[in-house]
Chains A and B, each alone.
Chain A
Amino acid sequence: MKVTLKIWRQKNPGDRGRFVSYPVEVVNGEMSMLECLDVLNEQLIEKGEEPVAFEHDCREGICGSCGFMINGVAHGPMPATTVCQLTMRHFKDGEELVLEPWRSRAFPFVKDLVVDRRAFDRIIQSGGYVSVSTGNAPDGNAIPVGKEIADAAMDAAACIGCGACVAACPNGSAALFTGAKIAHLGVLPQGKPEEDRRAVRMVAQMNVEGFGSCTNIGECTGVCPKEIQLDVIAKMNRDYLCGAWRERKQTVTAIAPVTSWEMEK
């Protein structure tokens, strides 16, 4: 079967981007979307053209590197599936697939289908951890954690940080991502002491990065490859509200967003 890949090509943020259509022969339905791009890239290189830049690493749906829009849907049409695990049998012969990078003010453009998602790292930096240095830990069984609580923490912790939630949201909100970490750590006894501070700081950072506000539309959970549920956002809002009151005397200083890749002085 054949498909046409209509891909956003843009050399760098200064370049004027454009869509370019490429016909690609799909040799078998087990081929993944990314393998389809591999085949196209091999052909482009042989013709002396620059291949399409796209992010990928583990190719088993867990590292969170890959992701782009396919016909307007983050990670394409299959639920709970990243583009690296999306097999071509789900498309029809002759179909045209439009591939675009994630679009969000907080994810600056890099090249073709690649964007800069360092804003997510800074949100974690601002409070997405338990402050326990190596060597301070009590015995693993010293604090019992009920199975339901451990399961709820795991459901939220499954987030792979791919950015599909932001790309799918009409507001470009990072509430699902931020809420997932607040919920993961906030339900566990280990995360309780910093519950207020964590929510206040992470939400402040999320806002400084330029992500939009959450208006409970729910596109994010619909495209999430790990099916993170909307209740993590409710947890975030609750913790933020309580925390903002209890921490009202504290000043929060957000981390300055960096967009340059020049890290040497």
Chain B
Amino acid sequence: MAIKLDAHIPAGPIDQAWDNVRFEMKLVNPANKRRHHLIVVGSGLAGASASATLGELGYSVKCFCFQDSPRRAHSIAAQGGINAAKNYQNDGDSIYRLFYDTVKGGDFRAREANVYRLAQNSVHIIDQCVAQGVPFAREYGGSLENRSFGGAQVSRTFYARGQTGQQLLLGAYQALERQIDAGQVAMYPRSEMLDLVVIDGQARGIVTRNLITGKLGVHLADAVILATGGYGNVYYLSTNAKGSNATAIWRAHRRGALFANPCFTQIHPTCIPVSGDYQSKLTLMSESLRNDGRIWVPKQKGDKRRPDQVPEGERDYYLERKYPAFGNLVPRDVASRNAKAVCDEGRGVGETGLGVYLDFAEAIGRLGVETIRERYGNLFDMYQRITDEDPYKVPMRIYPAIHYTMGGLWVDYNLQSTIPGLFVLGEANFSDHGANRLGASALMQGLSDGYFIIPYTVGNYLATAKPKPVKPDNPAAQEALAATQQGIAKLLAIQGRRTVDSFHRELGKIVWDDCGMSRNAKGLQEAIGKIRALREEYWQNVTVPGSGDDLNQSLEKAARVADFFELGELMCLDALERSESCGGHFREEYQTPDGEAQRDDEHFSYVAAWGYTGPGNTPDLTKEPLEFAYVHPSQRSYK
């Protein structure tokens, strides 16, 4: 029952496309805007910026988040920076170059028109954030400072110390609070979306659970906007916040929204390695460390000597050896895969053998301790706080960890999913990063979607679709409410023997081993079988203490993990179906003679959009072909 996807990509020259589309859009009369009710789920960069901007325009907005305050959303943890094609450094940057770098960095699996618009919006984002009072780093003369990032050859990254995500989110949060005070936005903290209400084929509302009182409620609106982030927590251990989850997008998927490229996940190469079974999450160390640190492992397998006892000649600086041109600065996917390879050979370091050294001795010798302290002091402190080792004296140990998910709900150029009236923003959609995201581009996309795209496209939808009034007693709304109630009752009734976390940890290990840094057909097939068996056990043997009538953190987790099972299986299926390697998706069967990712543009230059067909059934695959009129696909080479 494959449906035909229309991405609504505008015709004509790419640099005029967004202008033309905006001109052709129907507008909502300013006096009528307040009569239109909109729901925004999520309060991170995308959700907060969308809620604030729609409120400013005069719409009646309800914004929902599961945390106690919208300021807690996980965008807050982004460290490095945000890209913008300002060319303030006069080093040859341009909108076209940012567009080109992003399409190429995504290994030619993103839509050109979307990426071009993202690059155009990038310059407005910086202006808006500066006006809000975001304290970006400045030169002594008062102009904005930039740094280079993520292998780009220009300096286009704006930053606020190591807390850029925090400062951008607080800017959007403050704009949102201003609209709450103005009565334009009603904020619902500690409210989790558990289902989507679809009436006559249009998204018209959501079912939520108040996490303090346990009460379920139906909220209706003229359109629903999901900005609920990525699904990296399928892997259990990730750099995501513990509460980050896929429930909103997965429940929307079950109601008919197609899920695109679920197997495109990003593994970040520089995280602090796992130290024990109790571990709850992984801590990222900024990618910028690779500017001065040298990555190595011993040449000998099982070498248990302390790093300072391994003589220079017995060390393998494997990235410098294999990629003399880029060395330690190869892109994230390449660095991660190579770390895994040396550990698989038995040359990993640390107690678990899952780690490689990131050594600053040479840089300290060349530049002095003070320069290194100035550049990376806060990161070194963080590392020492966690590991109790002094990275000024002992090399850091790092290992890759899941960090970002490029896949997400399928959206067209207007950010609308396959359900009319359901829009998806930020990491929750699939649209702009292809198979691999470049550093400092996630913040850019979240804010581009929220500040500068959805305010236009949702208005056009309201003016053309003209949603009719609906009431809470609508049968579809009542059906969704009843189904949610049953789902909760079912989880509480199992009363088995295993905790939610023990299942989640086991699921995460399966997906990490077989659908992580490298994948192969046999492993993926086995993983699908294992996930199904574990999911069956989950529904027989999980135990959720407490009741549904108050704050019950185990129940919250139990519902999220139930969705991770289904999504994890879909990730493996998508990875199995995509018989090529591209970006973060590395299939061992498809590599060049020297072990690099081998794309197959002839057969796989498409977006894989999956449709839900019921629990345990094989999902439907619909393909959206990708066309490259401006950036011509080539083999990425970093030799």
**Which residues on A are within 8 Å of B, measured CB to CB?**
11-12, 27-32, 34-35, 38-39, 42, 44-46, 48-51, 53, 55-60, 62-65, 81, 85, 87, 89, 110-111, 114, 116-118, 120-121, 124-126, 128-141, 143-147, 149-151, 153-154, 157-158, 160-161, 184-185, 188, 190-191, 255, 261-264
| Extra pairs beyond A130-B132, A147-B139 (17, CB < 8 Å) | A45-B545, A58-B72, A60-B77, A64-B76, A85-B385, A124-B177, A128-B177, A129-B177, A134-B52, A136-B131, A147-B138, A151-B135, A157-B167, A158-B161, A160-B166, A161-B71, A263-B188
* B447–chain A nearest beta-carbon distance, Å: 10
Q: Which residues of B contact A27 (CB under 8 A)?
A: 276-278
CB 8 Å contact bits of B86-126 with A (1 = contact, 0 = none): 10100000000000000000000000000000000000101
CB 8 Å contact bits of B433-452 with A (1 = contact, 0 = none): 00000000000000000011
Q: Which residues of B contact A81 (CB under 8 A)?
A: 385
Q: Which residues of B contact A29 (CB under 8 A)?
A: 388
**Which residues on B are within 8 Å of A, measured CB to CB?**
49, 52-53, 56, 67-74, 76-77, 86, 88, 124, 126-133, 135-144, 160-161, 163, 166-167, 170, 173-175, 177-178, 180-181, 186-191, 210, 212-213, 215, 217, 241-243, 275-281, 283-284, 382, 385-388, 451-452, 455, 497, 499, 501-502, 543, 545-546, 550-551, 553-554
**Residue of A with least CB distance to B189:** A118
Given A29-B388, A42-B502, A118 and B276 contact (CB-CB distance below 8 Å):
no
* A128–chain B nearest beta-carbon distance, Å: 6
Are B242 and A57 within 8 A (Cβ)?
Answer: yes
CA distance A157 to B543 in the complex (A): 42
Given A60-B77, A124-B177, A146-B140, A42 and B276 contact (CB-CB distance below 8 Å):
no
User: How many cross-chain pairs have Cβ atoms below 8 Å apart between A and B?
Assistant: 229
Are A58 and B77 within 8 A (Cβ)?
Answer: yes
Are A158 and B163 within 8 A (Cβ)?
Answer: yes
Given A28-B275, A59-B280, A129-B174, A48 and B69 contact (CB-CB distance below 8 Å):
no
A interface majority secondary structure: loop
CA distance A64 to B163 in the complex (A): 13
* B204–chain A nearest beta-carbon distance, Å: 17
* A107–chain B nearest beta-carbon distance, Å: 11
Task: State which of A30, A44, A264 has its C-beta within 8 Å of the C-beta of B276.
Answer: A30
Task: State which of A65, A121, A134, A154 has its C-beta within 8 Å of the C-beta of B455.
Answer: A134
Task: State which of A53, A57, A126, A132 has its C-beta within 8 Å of the C-beta of B241.
Answer: A57
Are A89 and B174 within 8 A (Cβ)?
Answer: no
CA distance A36 to B212 in the complex (A): 24
Are B74 and A63 within 8 A (Cβ)?
Answer: yes
CA distance A136 to B124 in the complex (A): 10
Given A140-B86, A141-B144, A262-B213, A130 and B387 contact (CB-CB distance below 8 Å):
no
Given A62-B77, A128-B177, A190-B131, A56 and B69 contact (CB-CB distance below 8 Å):
no
Are A137 and B127 within 8 A (Cβ)?
Answer: yes
Some 29 contacts from A to B, beta carbons below 8 A apart, are A27-B276, A45-B543, A51-B545, A59-B280, A59-B281, A60-B281, A60-B283, A63-B72, A63-B77, A110-B212, A117-B69, A121-B71, A121-B177, A121-B187, A124-B174, A129-B132, A134-B52, A134-B451, A136-B131, A141-B143, A146-B142, A150-B137, A154-B161, A157-B135, A158-B166, A190-B133, A261-B190, A261-B212, A264-B215
